């Protein structure tokens, strides 16, 4: 499947001014993190107030890692995200139980996710997901700025039942265009690559990232 342009999600927003910077630069979605161990963690009240700062036509993605169901439901009810992002070890049944659109993240390079056939077999259990997100494996659960070997996606990207691919993991303005040219993903997701400090986004880095995505897309259109 090929797409005319790569969508962009900027993750780990904690300030209204960063949401507006992402929207001004042309981001399609902003991510709110509800993982207690993250330096980008939002409380419910903070998330509700940030949600009010999100302009029309920018989607809100709520990110969880192995969260209790009642916590996810509270965010759905009170923050009204368009999409859920499950970034842990969540089962297909758990992900579907909310009746809300979701994407499931896979941390490539982890044991059992370290060869192209193993990755294909894992993602196929999540055929109901609106997208498959691919991040790098690290000690923690994400937002690490680490990359992974894109060849691990060789089997997935040619599978007829492939869901839209969201590429994440260590992307930044220097690397994203080349990754787009190589993989032709549906979307890219970035957090630490556009930060000046954990949870604090840099408007200059967001703008440079968006320019680099457009460059990658230009090269994609040329062939
Ligand atoms: O951003 C976080 O703090 C986070 C915490 C737990 C799981 C995932 C998290 N973020 C996601 O991690 C990837 C990669 O981020 P980075 O660009 O390498 O910093 C991305 O999908 C974020 O949504």
Q: Is the CB of 167 under 6 A from ligand 1?
A: no
Which pLDDT does position 147 carry in this prediction?
86
205 lines ligand 1 (CB under 6 A): no
Q: Which CATH superfamily is domain 7-221 in?
A: Aldolase class I (3.20.20.70)
Q: Which residues of the chain have pLDDT under 50?
A: 223
Would the CB of 142 count as within 6 Å of ligand 1? yes
Supply the residue whose CA is at minimum distance from atom 22 of ligand 1. Answer: 143
Average pLDDT of the residues of the chain: 94
Radius of gyration of the chain (CA): 16
For residue 223, the CA-to-ligand 1 centroid distance in Å is 30
ipTM greater than cut 0.95? yes
Here the tokens at position 118 are 């193993």
CA atoms within 13 A on the CB side of 63: 27
Q: How far apart are CA 181 and CA 175, in angstroms?
A: 10
What residues does 84 pair with on adjacent strands?
A: 62, 102
- How high is the pLDDT of residue 2? 77
38-68: per-residue pLDDT in tens? 999 999 999 999 999 999 999 999 999 999 9
Residue 165 is inside which H or E element, if any?
strand 165-167
Identify the CA nearest to 55 among candidates 83, 85, 15, 28. Answer: 28
């Amino acid at each position: 499947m090929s797409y005319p342009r790569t969508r962009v999600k900027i993750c780990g927003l904690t300030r209204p001014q960063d949401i507006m910077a992402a929207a001004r630069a042309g981001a399609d979605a902003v991510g709110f993190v509800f993982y207690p161990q993250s330096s980008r963690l939002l409380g419910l009240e903070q998330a509700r107030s940030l949600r009010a700062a999100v302009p029309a036509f920018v989607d809100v993605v709520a990110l969880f890692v192995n969260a209790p169901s009642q916590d996810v439901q509270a965010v759905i009810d009170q923050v009204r995200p368009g999409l859920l992002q499950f970034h842990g070890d969540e089962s297909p049944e758990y992900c579907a139980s909310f009746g809300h659109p979701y994407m499931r993240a896979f941390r490539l390079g982890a044991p059992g996710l370290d060869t192209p056939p193993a990755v294909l077999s894992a993602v196929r259990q999540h055929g109901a997901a609106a997208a498959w997100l691919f991040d790098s494996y690290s000690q923690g659960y994400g937002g690490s700025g680490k990359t992974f070997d894109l060849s691990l996606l060789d089997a997935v990207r040619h599978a007829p039942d492939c869901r839209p691919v969201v590429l994440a993991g260590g992307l930044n303005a220097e690397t994203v265009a080349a990754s787009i040219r190589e993989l032709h993903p549906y979307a890219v997701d970035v957090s630490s690559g556009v930060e000046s400090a954990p949870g604090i986004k840099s408007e200059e880095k967001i703008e440079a990232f968006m320019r680099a995505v457009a460059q990658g897309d230009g090269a994609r259109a040329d062939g």
